[in-house]
Amino acid sequence: MTRPSPRRRGPIVALVILVLIVAAIAAAILGNRDAPPDRAPQRVQATQEQLQLGRYLARAADCAACHQTADGAAYAGGFPLQTPFGTLYGTNITPDPDHGIGRWTADEFHRALTEGKAPHGRNLYPAMPYTAYHDIPRADADLIYAYLMNVRPSAQPNKKPEIPFPLNLRVLMTGWNLLFVDHDPLPAASQGESAQWVRGRYLTNVLGHCGECHTPRGKLGQLHRGDWLQGYTLNRFEAPSLTPQALAERGWTPEDLQRFLRIGLAPQGIAADEMYPVILHSTQYLTDDDLKAMSAFLLGDQPPRLAPAPQAKPDNAAPSPGRRVYLNTCAACHGVDGEGHPPGMPPLAANSTVRLESPRNLLLSILDGLPAQRLPDGTSIGEMPGFAHRLTDDEVAQLTNYMRTTWSTREGQVTAGDVATLREGK
């Protein structure tokens, strides 16, 4: 057998490279194709009981938080999802045949939910939490599918992701999935064996996908399974640690966790930022038994001993600089001694944000403020104004250190430089 001469080998190599380039371009183009399947719209028959179960599971999975806007139709998409790689938009998952999932089969829906693969093999970005949903049983996926296929269809077009090249090439997600998608059961941060704990693990880890926000990630967006639920800052505010010890250090009891998940309000604080939509669209609708199961999973079958909230001691000396800032800025709403005005203004002495290991969320609350909210039980929470334009970096640092040393066991080590960094949006 004769080998090609060096003179002939050059064109052959060039041809192979050209074929590979063409194949890569074709894969990139086809991989980004967002066209509905070429088939008639599907018709899904379901009993009222099945639809009710499907709605319950869709709420437990918090589908609405990403797949609808505040003023948009239910599940019609459009909600912006900020990521370090660009902005994604929740898609239309109503049964509209051209813009939604109306032509999808149950098999295709299950694959999208658990594998991150849309029809035509198009890769979904992992903002769709298939890294958690992969443990959803097929029976539950079919119930969610049946429910969504029976909601009111919306012809709202999907928004294209604002992801820069080359990250916008979905074919690259094939490599990401090979590297980072682990189909083993998700880790547990607590210890337990009871049926309640097992149920809570499914609701919290899988359907609720709490680890997607509360678990640290690597530079390529992959979850660090070894640091499960230990807290992470994805956007502006930190999603705090949900380990049993961290929750106990912030004074969370099973009963308080259940109340917080039901109405977004507990002695430890009020649901804000990205946790508020979770309460609004998801956990407020869960049964008491399921909320108990979630708290059992988060704290474990044997919850750790609570760290008592420090009580401010009477001080007859002249007020410290931080105390003066507090009295001039915060006392009118939060009370002279941080006693608050429940229910809309919980006491600062028990406030989880004050007791967090990191001062980030407390600093951001002072700088940015918090919006007015109406909680599921009807409680109205007034707007907290931001003080970025009224207080200097030194004053914000003094105020933060005063609050942390008075109403938590944290040290007052916040500097003006720390405040300046957050003020600049970092």
pLDDT (tens digit per residue) in 13-27: 454 444 434 444 444
87 vs 201: CA distance, rounded Å? 30
396 vs 387: CA distance, rounded Å? 9
For residue 193, what are its two tokens? Answer: 């064996």
C-alpha 404 chain-centroid distance: 26
- What value does the mean pLDDT of the chain take? 90
Residue type, 155: A
Q: What is the pLDDT of residue 26?
A: 44
pLDDT, one tens digit per residue, over 71-88 is 999 999 999 999 999 999
What is the average pLDDT across 248-272? 95
What is the average pLDDT across 295-313? 86
Residue type, 297: F
Q: What is the pLDDT of residue 34?
A: 73
For residue 163, what are its two tokens? Answer: 């992801």
242 vs 80: CA distance, rounded Å? 25
Domain 321-423: CATH class, spelled out: mainly alpha
The residues spanned by each domain of the chain are: 48-180, 195-299, 321-423
Q: What is the pLDDT of residue 9?
A: 56
What is the average pLDDT across 97-125? 96
Is 66 annotated as a binding-site member? yes
Compare 14 and 67 and report the one with higher pLDDT.
67
Question: Exposed, middle or buried: residue 277 (CB in 10 Å: 0-12, 13-18, 19+)?
Answer: middle
Confidence check: pLDDT of 311 > 50: yes
- 67 and 91 Cβ atoms separated by less than 8 Å: yes
Number of C-beta neighbours around residue 64 at 10 A:
19
pTM over 0.85: yes
Confidence check: pLDDT of 173 > 80: yes
pLDDT more than 90, % of the chain: 79
Is 333 annotated as a binding-site member? yes
What is the average pLDDT across 115-122? 95
Confidence check: pLDDT of 1 > 60: no
Which segments within 103-246 are labelled E, that is strand? none
Rounded to the nearest 10°, the torsion over CA 73, 74, 75, 76 is -10
Is 334 annotated as a binding-site member? yes
How far CA 293 is from CA of 144, 199, 257, 269, 287, in Å, comes to 21, 6, 11, 21, 10
Residue that is written with structure tokens 């990403």 in the block: 66
Is 110 annotated as a binding-site member? no
Compare 4 and 332 and report the one with higher pLDDT.
332
Is 99 annotated as a binding-site member? no
The secondary structure of 207-229 as a DSSP string is IS-THHHHS-B-TTS-B-GGGTT
Q: What is the pLDDT of residue 28?
A: 47
pLDDT, one tens digit per residue, over 330-370 is 999 899 999 888 877 778 888 999 999 999 999 999 999 99
